[in-house]
Structure 1
Amino acid sequence: MPVYCITGTNRGLGLEFVRQLAQSGDNTILATTRSLESDLGDLHAVASASTHILECDTGDLKSIHAFAKEARKVLGPDTRIDFLLNSAGVNLASWQSSLTLGPDDLAAQISVNVLGPAKTVEFLLEAGLLSESVRILNMSSGLGSLQRSLAAPRKCAGYSISKAALNMLTVHQSGDLRAKLPHVVVIALDPGWVKTRMGGDGAVLEPHESISGILKVLGGLKDEDNGKFLHHSGEEIPW
């Protein structure tokens, strides 16, 4: 019975991950949300009997640490996470360019989009919750590709910068974790332009299309894929 841990599941892509994975009773799911006091009706509606809804604000280090401790209690002493999907993210002040960046907006995006996945991995590793062959997905974006961003139009400067930083985090994690977990595979992944609240107007993909593709990619990952930047179709993306 594989164990999936997914951050940011109250809406958007995180919610769709839970919806698809919960269709199999073989999957144990740790579904996190920033606050258990939020409206979680949609999440409860798709959750299975083996879905555990836990609080984890990925912009708050104390919350991430508390989540790791709670996850240990939920899974027990011998169960490990097989798939860690760092799906939580924010896109703030998308109208800002590199010439008008708001310091607080950029800092908030770095906190959630970069430090959040970094500390989630760190604290789960410290708690002994990651399997030796865990697959870790850091949800990136095509906007985080430096090569693609050379082509105009450029947009969402702060978000793009945070996703480029997440890509570098992925590269570092892919090496650092291999020294501790011999068969770990860490990837950054672009889900495509998806019709979610974050995706906004003009998005072309339905959530179920993106997530079904991502789950297929996850299921087919090999040791040599460690440290890659992939599209939801499985195609490799230039950094």
Structure 2
Amino acid sequence: MGLILILGASRGLGRALATAYVEQGHRVIATVRRAEDMAALQALGAEVLQVDLADPASVSGLAWQLDGASIDLALYVAGVWDGHGAGVPPTQQQFDQVMHSNVLGFMQALPQIAPMVQEAEGVIAAFSSSMSLLSEAAPDAWLYRVSKAALNMAVASAGAQWPGVTLLALDPGWVQTEMGGPAAPLSLQDSVQGLMQALAGVTPDDGGCLLRHDGHRLRLAAAG
């Protein structure tokens, strides 16, 4: 079975995906921010690295920790909710927290992992949201929407730099996690099963797309 890297697996979708891929027999390397989150994932059968994806200094050691592994699938799951009301300008602290985790972390991690994914002619997928789309603009979760729109641009812009890598964004839907809340219409299990099925069907033509948990594809940038 192939090697799967999950960046941000201490809880929610990241942990559920790590669990599901281990159960399928894959070798899984997962990252967590805090040392106390390592044991639970190790008990599931994953290899665990401590990396704070919101901290460039921590991310800078990621390639060294991975030690040249050939990666078939890398998932950037890490992200935070903005946590402030509709129409309220973010403070610098709020902006830095959300943008560092949701955008900068991915942009810092990408050149570290892309050569290893390139070796396997694999897939890199960053977790985004339909809330990132201009067609879905709304006054709620303003900063979160902006961060995921920026993430989409990073995905659409960076793909050509690593030929052989299929780089795309993922939309897991509104899921019943700590971030999504209990009112979300999609269970964690259903989102994970949908994402895994959708990822299993990815081809190089899907590079630069937003891939939904239900398999629907939306191109983030004009072709050519």
Amino acid at match of 2:84: S
Unaligned runs of 5+ residues in structure 1 are none
Q: Distance in 2 between matches of 1:39 and 1:222?
A: 34
**Native 8 Å contact 1:6 1:84 kept in 2:** yes
Counterpart of 2:136 in structure 1 is 148
Q: Distance in 2 between matches of 1:16 and 1:190?
A: 15
1:121-157 Cα deviation digits (max 9, x unpaired): 11224xx4223412011100111111112xx5x3111
Counterpart of 1:186 in structure 2 is 167
Counterpart of 1:173 in structure 2 is 158
Q: What TM-score does the superposition give when structure 1 sets the normalisation length?
A: 0.85
2:48 maps to 1:53: yes
Structure 1 runs, 4 residues or longer, greater than 6 Å off: none
Amino acid at match of 2:167: V
Counterpart of 1:43 in structure 2 is 41
Q: Distance in 2 between matches of 1:210 and 1:42?
A: 22
Q: What TM-score does the superposition give when structure 2 sets the normalisation length?
A: 0.91
2:180 maps to 1:199: yes
Counterpart of 1:33 in structure 2 is 32
Report the 3-state secondary structure (helix = DSSP H, G, I; strand = E; otherwise coil) of the residue aligned with 2:174: coil
Q: Distance in 2 between matches of 1:29 and 1:41?
A: 14
Instruction: Tell me by how many angstroms 1:201 deviates.
Output: 4.0
RMSD after superposition: 1.8
Give the percent of matched residue pairs that are identical in Structure 1 and Structure 2: 30
Counterpart of 1:86 in structure 2 is 76
- Seen in structure 2, the aligned counterparts of structure 1 residues 221 and 174 have a Cα distance that, compared at 3 Å, is same
Counterpart of 1:95 in structure 2 is 85
- Seen in structure 2, the aligned counterparts of structure 1 residues 28 and 91 have a Cα distance that, compared at 3 Å, is same
Counterpart of 2:57 in structure 1 is 62
Instruction: Tell me by how many angstroms 1:103 deviates.
Output: 2.2
Counterpart of 1:139 in structure 2 is 127
1:215-226 correspondence runs (5 A):
215-226=196-207
Amino acid at match of 2:32: T
**Native 8 Å contact 1:92 1:105 kept in 2:** yes
Counterpart of 2:100 in structure 1 is 111
Q: Distance in 1 between matches of 2:84 and 2:77?
A: 19
Unaligned runs of 5+ residues in structure 2 are none
**Native 8 Å contact 1:145 1:238 kept in 2:** no
Q: 116-125 or 191-200, which moves further after superposition?
A: 116-125
Count of equivalent residues: 219
**Native 8 Å contact 1:11 1:42 kept in 2:** no
